[in-house]
Amino acid sequence: MFSGLSRRARNLSPSPTLALDARTKELQAKGVDVVNLGIGEPDFDTPSHIGDAAVQAIREGFTKYTPATGIPDLKKAVCKKFLEDNGLEYDLSQVVISVGAKQAVYNAVQVLCDEGDEVIVPAPYWVSYTEIIKLAGGIPVEVPSREEAGFKVSAADLEAAIGDRTKILLFNSPNNPSGAVYDRDELLAIADVCLKRGLYIISDEIYEKLVYGGLKHVSIASVRPALKDRTIVINGVSKAFSMTGWRIGFAAGPREAIKAMGDLQGQVTSNPTSISQKAALAALLGPKEPVEAMVREFEKRRNFVVGELNSIPGLRCSTPGGAFYVYPNVSAFIGKKNASGKTIADSADLAEAILQEAAVAVVPGTAFGMDGYVRISYATSMENLRKGIDRLRRFFAALG
Ligand code: PMP
Ligand code: GLU
Protein backbone atom coordinates (compact mmCIF):
# COMPACT_ATOMS: atom_id res chain seq x y z
CA MET A 1 0.00 0.00 0.00
CA PHE A 2 1.53 3.34 -1.07
CA SER A 3 1.47 5.77 1.83
CA GLY A 4 3.35 8.69 0.33
CA LEU A 5 0.43 10.86 -0.77
CA SER A 6 0.31 14.42 0.49
CA ARG A 7 -2.69 15.55 2.51
CA ARG A 8 -3.61 17.70 -0.47
CA ALA A 9 -3.70 14.70 -2.79
CA ARG A 10 -5.57 12.58 -0.27
CA ASN A 11 -8.23 15.24 0.12
CA LEU A 12 -8.70 15.76 -3.61
CA SER A 13 -11.85 14.33 -5.22
CA PRO A 14 -11.78 13.50 -8.93
CA SER A 15 -14.03 15.55 -11.22
CA PRO A 16 -17.40 13.75 -11.19
CA THR A 17 -18.28 14.96 -14.69
CA LEU A 18 -15.03 13.67 -16.17
CA ALA A 19 -15.27 10.45 -14.13
CA LEU A 20 -18.80 9.77 -15.38
CA ASP A 21 -17.74 10.51 -18.95
CA ALA A 22 -14.80 8.10 -18.67
CA ARG A 23 -17.09 5.42 -17.26
CA THR A 24 -19.68 5.99 -19.99
CA LYS A 25 -17.03 5.71 -22.71
CA GLU A 26 -15.66 2.54 -21.12
CA LEU A 27 -19.14 0.97 -21.17
CA GLN A 28 -19.63 2.09 -24.78
CA ALA A 29 -16.25 0.57 -25.73
CA LYS A 30 -17.45 -2.73 -24.25
CA GLY A 31 -20.44 -2.56 -26.54
CA VAL A 32 -23.05 -1.26 -24.05
CA ASP A 33 -25.34 1.20 -25.81
CA VAL A 34 -25.22 4.05 -23.24
CA VAL A 35 -26.77 7.39 -24.19
CA ASN A 36 -24.41 10.04 -22.90
CA LEU A 37 -26.38 12.99 -21.51
CA GLY A 38 -23.66 13.50 -18.91
CA ILE A 39 -20.79 15.49 -20.30
CA GLY A 40 -21.06 19.18 -21.15
CA GLU A 41 -19.30 19.14 -24.48
CA PRO A 42 -20.73 20.41 -27.77
CA ASP A 43 -21.14 17.58 -30.27
CA PHE A 44 -20.44 19.81 -33.30
CA ASP A 45 -17.16 19.69 -35.20
CA THR A 46 -14.90 22.65 -34.62
CA PRO A 47 -15.68 25.00 -37.56
CA SER A 48 -13.35 24.21 -40.46
CA HIS A 49 -11.70 27.65 -40.77
CA ILE A 50 -10.43 27.18 -37.20
CA GLY A 51 -8.93 23.80 -37.98
CA ASP A 52 -7.37 25.30 -41.13
CA ALA A 53 -5.62 27.97 -39.05
CA ALA A 54 -4.13 25.25 -36.84
CA VAL A 55 -2.92 23.23 -39.84
CA GLN A 56 -1.36 26.37 -41.24
CA ALA A 57 0.37 27.02 -37.89
CA ILE A 58 1.92 23.55 -38.01
CA ARG A 59 2.97 23.97 -41.65
CA GLU A 60 4.60 27.30 -40.84
CA GLY A 61 6.50 25.78 -37.93
CA PHE A 62 4.58 27.67 -35.27
CA THR A 63 5.28 24.81 -32.91
CA LYS A 64 7.67 26.30 -30.36
CA TYR A 65 7.25 27.90 -26.95
CA THR A 66 5.28 31.11 -27.02
CA PRO A 67 5.25 33.66 -24.19
CA ALA A 68 3.89 31.79 -21.15
CA THR A 69 0.83 34.05 -21.00
CA GLY A 70 -0.01 33.70 -24.69
CA ILE A 71 0.80 35.38 -28.01
CA PRO A 72 0.16 39.14 -28.31
CA ASP A 73 -2.15 38.70 -31.33
CA LEU A 74 -4.46 36.44 -29.39
CA LYS A 75 -4.38 38.78 -26.39
CA LYS A 76 -5.35 41.63 -28.75
CA ALA A 77 -8.26 39.57 -30.07
CA VAL A 78 -9.34 38.80 -26.51
CA CYS A 79 -9.23 42.53 -25.62
CA LYS A 80 -11.36 43.25 -28.71
CA LYS A 81 -13.83 40.57 -27.64
CA PHE A 82 -14.15 42.01 -24.12
CA LEU A 83 -14.66 45.52 -25.48
CA GLU A 84 -17.20 44.58 -28.14
CA ASP A 85 -19.14 41.93 -26.24
CA ASN A 86 -18.92 43.18 -22.67
CA GLY A 87 -18.01 46.87 -22.84
CA LEU A 88 -14.86 46.09 -20.84
CA GLU A 89 -11.64 47.82 -21.82
CA TYR A 90 -8.38 46.01 -21.04
CA ASP A 91 -4.85 46.35 -22.34
CA LEU A 92 -2.59 43.40 -23.15
CA SER A 93 -1.05 43.36 -19.68
CA GLN A 94 -4.50 42.66 -18.26
CA VAL A 95 -5.07 39.47 -20.23
CA VAL A 96 -3.69 35.95 -19.84
CA ILE A 97 -4.31 32.98 -22.14
CA SER A 98 -4.59 29.66 -20.28
CA VAL A 99 -4.98 25.94 -20.82
CA GLY A 100 -8.77 26.07 -20.91
CA ALA A 101 -11.05 28.12 -18.71
CA LYS A 102 -10.42 25.50 -16.06
CA GLN A 103 -6.78 26.52 -15.64
CA ALA A 104 -7.82 30.18 -15.66
CA VAL A 105 -10.25 29.54 -12.78
CA TYR A 106 -7.60 27.56 -10.91
CA ASN A 107 -4.97 30.28 -11.37
CA ALA A 108 -7.37 33.06 -10.39
CA VAL A 109 -8.26 31.28 -7.15
CA GLN A 110 -4.58 30.52 -6.44
CA VAL A 111 -3.54 34.16 -6.74
CA LEU A 112 -6.42 35.65 -4.72
CA CYS A 113 -7.09 33.10 -2.03
CA ASP A 114 -4.98 32.66 1.12
CA GLU A 115 -5.14 29.77 3.58
CA GLY A 116 -8.40 30.11 5.53
CA ASP A 117 -10.03 32.67 3.22
CA GLU A 118 -13.68 32.05 2.53
CA VAL A 119 -14.95 31.94 -1.02
CA ILE A 120 -18.66 32.25 -1.65
CA VAL A 121 -20.03 29.82 -4.20
CA PRO A 122 -23.71 30.06 -5.18
CA ALA A 123 -25.20 26.56 -5.49
CA PRO A 124 -25.73 24.67 -7.66
CA TYR A 125 -22.17 25.21 -8.90
CA TRP A 126 -19.79 23.66 -11.39
CA VAL A 127 -18.13 20.59 -9.91
CA SER A 128 -14.54 21.88 -9.94
CA TYR A 129 -15.02 25.13 -8.01
CA THR A 130 -15.02 23.67 -4.50
CA GLU A 131 -12.00 21.45 -5.15
CA ILE A 132 -10.08 24.34 -6.72
CA ILE A 133 -10.82 26.49 -3.67
CA LYS A 134 -9.71 23.75 -1.29
CA LEU A 135 -6.49 23.24 -3.25
CA ALA A 136 -5.69 26.90 -2.53
CA GLY A 137 -6.35 26.37 1.20
CA GLY A 138 -9.59 28.33 0.96
CA ILE A 139 -12.95 27.44 2.44
CA PRO A 140 -15.89 27.19 0.05
CA VAL A 141 -19.05 28.72 1.49
CA GLU A 142 -22.03 27.44 -0.45
CA VAL A 143 -25.04 29.71 -0.82
CA PRO A 144 -28.01 27.68 -2.00
CA SER A 145 -30.40 29.05 -4.59
CA ARG A 146 -34.00 27.97 -5.04
CA GLU A 147 -35.66 26.48 -8.07
CA GLU A 148 -38.56 28.95 -7.68
CA ALA A 149 -36.05 31.80 -7.93
CA GLY A 150 -34.73 30.37 -11.21
CA PHE A 151 -31.72 28.91 -9.37
CA LYS A 152 -30.37 32.41 -8.80
CA VAL A 153 -29.13 33.75 -5.48
CA SER A 154 -30.15 37.23 -4.41
CA ALA A 155 -27.92 39.99 -3.11
CA ALA A 156 -29.47 39.44 0.33
CA ASP A 157 -28.66 35.70 0.24
CA LEU A 158 -25.06 36.58 -0.52
CA GLU A 159 -24.77 39.29 2.07
CA ALA A 160 -26.03 36.92 4.76
CA ALA A 161 -23.17 34.53 3.95
CA ILE A 162 -20.39 37.14 4.19
CA GLY A 163 -18.24 36.94 7.31
CA ASP A 164 -14.89 38.32 8.51
CA ARG A 165 -12.87 35.88 6.40
CA THR A 166 -14.91 36.19 3.21
CA LYS A 167 -12.74 37.45 0.39
CA ILE A 168 -14.08 36.22 -2.94
CA LEU A 169 -17.33 35.55 -4.77
CA LEU A 170 -16.93 32.82 -7.39
CA PHE A 171 -19.73 33.63 -9.77
CA ASN A 172 -21.00 31.80 -12.85
CA SER A 173 -23.62 33.13 -15.28
CA PRO A 174 -24.84 31.45 -17.46
CA ASN A 175 -24.66 28.76 -14.85
CA ASN A 176 -23.50 25.19 -15.05
CA PRO A 177 -25.58 23.12 -14.14
CA SER A 178 -28.83 25.12 -13.89
CA GLY A 179 -28.55 27.27 -17.02
CA ALA A 180 -29.57 30.34 -14.96
CA VAL A 181 -28.72 33.68 -16.57
CA TYR A 182 -28.61 36.73 -14.27
CA ASP A 183 -30.00 39.97 -15.67
CA ARG A 184 -28.45 43.41 -15.23
CA ASP A 185 -30.57 44.40 -12.21
CA GLU A 186 -29.76 41.19 -10.38
CA LEU A 187 -26.08 41.71 -11.15
CA LEU A 188 -26.20 45.32 -9.99
CA ALA A 189 -27.61 44.28 -6.62
CA ILE A 190 -24.93 41.60 -6.21
CA ALA A 191 -22.21 43.99 -7.40
CA ASP A 192 -23.23 46.56 -4.80
CA VAL A 193 -22.99 44.00 -1.99
CA CYS A 194 -19.52 43.00 -3.20
CA LEU A 195 -18.40 46.62 -3.33
CA LYS A 196 -19.90 47.44 0.07
CA ARG A 197 -18.27 44.42 1.72
CA GLY A 198 -14.95 44.64 -0.15
CA LEU A 199 -15.22 41.30 -1.95
CA TYR A 200 -13.27 40.32 -5.05
CA ILE A 201 -15.11 38.48 -7.82
CA ILE A 202 -14.05 35.69 -10.10
CA SER A 203 -16.67 35.63 -12.84
CA ASP A 204 -16.74 32.51 -14.99
CA GLU A 205 -18.51 33.49 -18.22
CA ILE A 206 -17.58 30.47 -20.35
CA TYR A 207 -21.23 30.01 -21.46
CA GLU A 208 -21.65 33.67 -22.45
CA LYS A 209 -22.56 32.96 -26.08
CA LEU A 210 -25.07 30.24 -25.22
CA VAL A 211 -28.16 32.23 -24.20
CA TYR A 212 -31.63 31.78 -25.63
CA GLY A 213 -35.00 33.39 -26.12
CA GLY A 214 -33.55 36.84 -26.73
CA LEU A 215 -31.68 36.97 -23.40
CA LYS A 216 -28.42 38.88 -23.32
CA HIS A 217 -25.40 37.95 -21.25
CA VAL A 218 -24.10 40.76 -19.05
CA SER A 219 -20.70 40.59 -17.39
CA ILE A 220 -20.84 41.49 -13.71
CA ALA A 221 -17.51 43.31 -14.15
CA SER A 222 -19.26 45.82 -16.43
CA VAL A 223 -22.19 46.89 -14.25
CA ARG A 224 -20.27 49.24 -11.90
CA PRO A 225 -17.02 50.96 -12.94
CA ALA A 226 -15.43 50.28 -9.53
CA LEU A 227 -16.05 46.56 -9.86
CA LYS A 228 -13.82 46.08 -12.87
CA ASP A 229 -10.77 46.60 -10.64
CA ARG A 230 -11.96 43.86 -8.28
CA THR A 231 -13.05 41.25 -10.81
CA ILE A 232 -11.23 38.59 -12.79
CA VAL A 233 -13.39 37.64 -15.77
CA ILE A 234 -12.89 34.16 -17.19
CA ASN A 235 -13.95 33.03 -20.63
CA GLY A 236 -12.66 30.85 -23.45
CA VAL A 237 -13.35 29.18 -26.77
CA SER A 238 -14.30 25.67 -25.57
CA LYS A 239 -18.08 26.03 -25.50
CA ALA A 240 -18.93 28.75 -28.01
CA PHE A 241 -16.72 27.40 -30.81
CA SER A 242 -16.95 23.71 -29.98
CA MET A 243 -13.24 23.64 -29.14
CA THR A 244 -13.14 21.65 -25.89
CA GLY A 245 -10.11 19.58 -26.88
CA TRP A 246 -8.01 22.55 -27.99
CA ARG A 247 -7.66 23.77 -24.41
CA ILE A 248 -7.75 27.53 -24.70
CA GLY A 249 -9.32 29.75 -22.06
CA PHE A 250 -8.51 33.27 -20.96
CA ALA A 251 -8.83 35.73 -18.11
CA ALA A 252 -8.87 39.51 -17.85
CA GLY A 253 -8.68 41.69 -14.79
CA PRO A 254 -6.52 43.89 -12.58
CA ARG A 255 -2.93 44.02 -13.87
CA GLU A 256 -1.35 42.71 -10.65
CA ALA A 257 -3.69 39.72 -10.46
CA ILE A 258 -3.18 38.86 -14.13
CA LYS A 259 0.59 39.17 -13.74
CA ALA A 260 0.49 36.78 -10.78
CA MET A 261 -1.65 34.33 -12.80
CA GLY A 262 0.90 34.54 -15.63
CA ASP A 263 3.82 34.00 -13.25
CA LEU A 264 2.08 30.96 -11.81
CA GLN A 265 1.40 29.59 -15.27
CA GLY A 266 5.05 30.22 -16.22
CA GLN A 267 6.11 27.95 -13.38
CA VAL A 268 3.50 25.27 -13.86
CA THR A 269 2.56 24.75 -17.53
CA SER A 270 4.32 27.44 -19.60
CA ASN A 271 2.27 28.54 -22.60
CA PRO A 272 -0.96 26.94 -23.79
CA THR A 273 -0.33 25.01 -27.02
CA SER A 274 1.02 27.31 -29.73
CA ILE A 275 -1.13 25.67 -32.44
CA SER A 276 -4.29 25.98 -30.38
CA GLN A 277 -3.59 29.65 -29.81
CA LYS A 278 -3.57 30.22 -33.58
CA ALA A 279 -6.83 28.28 -33.80
CA ALA A 280 -8.40 30.39 -31.04
CA LEU A 281 -7.28 33.53 -32.86
CA ALA A 282 -9.11 32.36 -35.98
CA ALA A 283 -12.16 31.57 -33.84
CA LEU A 284 -12.31 35.00 -32.22
CA LEU A 285 -11.64 36.99 -35.39
CA GLY A 286 -13.55 34.74 -37.81
CA PRO A 287 -17.17 34.68 -38.99
CA LYS A 288 -19.94 34.63 -36.38
CA GLU A 289 -22.28 32.38 -38.39
CA PRO A 290 -20.98 29.02 -37.12
CA VAL A 291 -21.57 30.10 -33.50
CA GLU A 292 -25.01 31.47 -34.33
CA ALA A 293 -25.94 28.21 -36.05
CA MET A 294 -24.87 26.19 -32.99
CA VAL A 295 -26.81 28.48 -30.67
CA ARG A 296 -29.97 28.06 -32.79
CA GLU A 297 -29.58 24.30 -32.65
CA PHE A 298 -29.01 24.32 -28.87
CA GLU A 299 -32.14 26.41 -28.38
CA LYS A 300 -34.19 23.95 -30.42
CA ARG A 301 -32.84 21.07 -28.34
CA ARG A 302 -33.47 22.92 -25.08
CA ASN A 303 -37.10 23.49 -25.99
CA PHE A 304 -37.52 19.87 -27.01
CA VAL A 305 -35.90 18.47 -23.86
CA VAL A 306 -37.80 20.73 -21.46
CA GLY A 307 -41.12 19.85 -23.11
CA GLU A 308 -40.43 16.13 -23.07
CA LEU A 309 -39.16 16.01 -19.50
CA ASN A 310 -42.17 17.91 -18.21
CA SER A 311 -44.43 15.30 -19.82
CA ILE A 312 -42.87 12.58 -17.62
CA PRO A 313 -45.07 12.16 -14.52
CA GLY A 314 -43.19 13.16 -11.38
CA LEU A 315 -40.48 15.18 -13.14
CA ARG A 316 -40.45 18.97 -13.11
CA CYS A 317 -38.10 20.88 -15.37
CA SER A 318 -37.82 24.65 -15.56
CA THR A 319 -36.66 26.33 -18.75
CA PRO A 320 -33.08 27.53 -18.42
CA GLY A 321 -31.97 30.74 -20.13
CA GLY A 322 -28.52 29.57 -21.12
CA ALA A 323 -25.67 27.01 -21.27
CA PHE A 324 -26.60 23.55 -22.58
CA TYR A 325 -28.00 21.85 -19.52
CA VAL A 326 -31.37 21.33 -17.92
CA TYR A 327 -31.65 20.65 -14.22
CA PRO A 328 -34.93 18.80 -13.61
CA ASN A 329 -36.31 18.23 -10.14
CA VAL A 330 -36.32 14.49 -9.42
CA SER A 331 -37.17 14.65 -5.73
CA ALA A 332 -40.44 12.72 -6.32
CA PHE A 333 -38.31 9.65 -7.05
CA ILE A 334 -36.03 9.83 -4.03
CA GLY A 335 -37.10 7.19 -1.53
CA LYS A 336 -38.36 4.78 -4.24
CA LYS A 337 -36.73 1.40 -4.81
CA ASN A 338 -34.43 0.56 -7.72
CA ALA A 339 -34.70 -2.67 -9.76
CA SER A 340 -32.81 -4.69 -7.15
CA GLY A 341 -34.98 -3.41 -4.32
CA LYS A 342 -32.49 -0.92 -2.84
CA THR A 343 -33.92 2.39 -1.71
CA ILE A 344 -32.81 5.37 -3.78
CA ALA A 345 -31.49 7.66 -1.07
CA ASP A 346 -30.39 10.66 -3.12
CA SER A 347 -29.77 11.91 -6.66
CA ALA A 348 -26.43 10.04 -6.77
CA ASP A 349 -28.27 6.73 -6.22
CA LEU A 350 -30.84 7.78 -8.79
CA ALA A 351 -28.22 8.67 -11.44
CA GLU A 352 -26.52 5.33 -10.78
CA ALA A 353 -29.82 3.47 -11.25
CA ILE A 354 -30.48 5.44 -14.44
CA LEU A 355 -27.07 4.41 -15.78
CA GLN A 356 -27.41 0.76 -14.73
CA GLU A 357 -31.04 0.19 -15.59
CA ALA A 358 -31.77 2.66 -18.40
CA ALA A 359 -28.27 3.00 -19.91
CA VAL A 360 -28.42 6.80 -19.83
CA ALA A 361 -25.63 8.88 -18.27
CA VAL A 362 -26.81 11.93 -16.29
CA VAL A 363 -24.94 13.79 -13.54
CA PRO A 364 -26.48 13.77 -10.05
CA GLY A 365 -27.26 17.07 -8.35
CA THR A 366 -25.06 15.99 -5.43
CA ALA A 367 -22.04 16.71 -7.68
CA PHE A 368 -23.19 20.35 -7.94
CA GLY A 369 -24.00 20.87 -4.28
CA MET A 370 -27.78 20.62 -4.74
CA ASP A 371 -29.48 17.28 -4.24
CA GLY A 372 -32.95 16.46 -5.57
CA TYR A 373 -31.97 17.25 -9.17
CA VAL A 374 -30.02 15.67 -12.00
CA ARG A 375 -28.19 17.49 -14.78
CA ILE A 376 -28.99 16.53 -18.33
CA SER A 377 -26.75 17.87 -21.07
CA TYR A 378 -28.39 18.58 -24.41
CA ALA A 379 -25.03 19.10 -26.11
CA THR A 380 -25.73 15.99 -28.13
CA SER A 381 -27.71 15.10 -31.25
CA MET A 382 -31.52 15.18 -31.39
CA GLU A 383 -31.39 11.48 -32.13
CA ASN A 384 -29.52 10.81 -28.88
CA LEU A 385 -31.82 13.13 -26.97
CA ARG A 386 -34.91 11.30 -28.27
CA LYS A 387 -33.42 7.94 -27.43
CA GLY A 388 -32.23 9.06 -24.00
CA ILE A 389 -35.55 10.63 -23.08
CA ASP A 390 -37.50 7.57 -24.23
CA ARG A 391 -35.37 5.48 -21.91
CA LEU A 392 -35.81 7.92 -19.05
CA ARG A 393 -39.58 7.90 -19.58
CA ARG A 394 -39.66 4.12 -19.30
CA PHE A 395 -37.30 4.12 -16.31
CA PHE A 396 -39.35 6.63 -14.31
CA ALA A 397 -42.62 4.91 -15.22
CA ALA A 398 -41.23 1.62 -13.89
CA LEU A 399 -40.05 3.36 -10.72
CA GLY A 400 -43.63 4.48 -10.16
N1 PMP B 1 -16.32 26.72 -16.21
C2 PMP B 1 -17.48 26.06 -16.33
C3 PMP B 1 -18.69 26.60 -15.66
C4 PMP B 1 -17.53 24.86 -17.06
O5 PMP B 1 -18.69 24.20 -17.18
C6 PMP B 1 -16.37 24.37 -17.66
C7 PMP B 1 -16.44 23.04 -18.33
N8 PMP B 1 -15.85 22.93 -19.47
C9 PMP B 1 -15.19 25.12 -17.52
C10 PMP B 1 -15.19 26.27 -16.79
C11 PMP B 1 -13.90 24.67 -18.13
O12 PMP B 1 -13.80 25.00 -19.46
P13 PMP B 1 -12.56 24.53 -20.34
O14 PMP B 1 -12.96 23.29 -21.02
O15 PMP B 1 -12.30 25.68 -21.27
O16 PMP B 1 -11.41 24.33 -19.41
N1 GLU C 1 -17.62 21.47 -17.92
C2 GLU C 1 -18.11 20.30 -18.58
C3 GLU C 1 -19.15 19.63 -17.71
O4 GLU C 1 -19.55 20.17 -16.72
C5 GLU C 1 -16.97 19.39 -18.97
C6 GLU C 1 -16.38 18.52 -17.90
C7 GLU C 1 -15.65 19.31 -16.87
O8 GLU C 1 -14.65 19.94 -17.20
O9 GLU C 1 -16.16 19.32 -15.75
O10 GLU C 1 -19.60 18.56 -18.05
Residue boundaries of the structural domains of the chain: 8-45+290-398, 49-285
Ligand 2 atom with least separation from CA of 100? 8
pLDDT of residue 91: 98
Domains 8-45+290-398 and 49-285 share a fold: no
C-alpha to C-alpha distance for 236 and 160, rounded to whole angstroms: 32
pTM for the whole structure? 0.97
Spacing, Cα 177 to ligand 1 middle (Å): 11
To test ligand 1's pocket by mutation, which of 78, 102, 109, 250 has the most ligand atoms within 8 angstroms of CB? 102
Closest ligand, as measured to the CA of 105: 1
To test ligand 2's pocket by mutation, which of 17, 175, 205, 363 has the most ligand atoms within 8 angstroms of CB? 17
C-alpha to C-alpha distance for 155 and 290, rounded to whole angstroms: 36
Closest ligand, as measured to the CA of 379: 2
To test ligand 2's pocket by mutation, which of 20, 126, 362 has the most ligand atoms within 8 angstroms of CB? 126
Q: What is the CATH number of domain 49-285?
A: 3.40.640.10
Spacing, Cα 17 to ligand 2 middle (Å): 6
Q: Which residues contact 307 (CB under 8 A, 6 or more apart)?
A: none
φ, ψ of residue 119 to 5 degrees: the values are -120, 120
To test ligand 2's pocket by mutation, which of 21, 24, 41, 103 has the most ligand atoms within 8 angstroms of CB? 41
Q: Name the closest-CA residue to atom 5, ligand 2.
A: 40
Cα angle 305, 310, 315; round to 5: 115
Ligand 2-lining residues (CB < 6 angstroms): 15, 17-18, 39-41, 102, 127-128, 176
Q: Name the closest-CA residue to atom 3, ligand 2.
A: 40
DSSP 156-196: HHHHHH--TTEEEEEEESS-TTT-----HHHHHHHHHHHHH
pLDDT of residue 202: 99
Residue 132 beta carbon below 6 angstroms from any ligand 1 atom = no
Spacing, Cα 38 to ligand 2 middle (Å): 9
pLDDT less than 70: residues of the chain = none
SS3 206: coil
Q: Name the closest-CA residue to atom 10, ligand 2.
A: 40
Ligand 2 atom with least separation from CA of 15? 9
pLDDT of residue 338: 86
Spacing, Cα 380 to ligand 1 middle (Å): 17
pLDDT of residue 287: 96
Domain 8-45+290-398 classified CATH 3.90.1150.10?
yes
Closest ligand, as measured to the CA of 101: 1
Closest ligand, as measured to the CA of 20: 2
Closest ligand, as measured to the CA of 240: 1
What residues pair up with 233 in beta bridges, in sequence order?
203, 252
Closest CA to 78 of 267, 258, 311, 298: 258
Ligand 2 atom with least separation from CA of 16? 9
For residue 177, the Cα-to-chain-centroid distance in whole angstroms is: 7
Residue 204 beta carbon below 6 angstroms from any ligand 1 atom = yes
What angle, rounded to 10 degrees, do the helices at 255-268 and 100-112 form?
120
Residue 347 beta carbon below 6 angstroms from any ligand 1 atom = no
Residue 278 beta carbon below 6 angstroms from any ligand 1 atom = no
pLDDT of residue 19: 92
Spacing, Cα 197 to ligand 2 middle (Å): 31
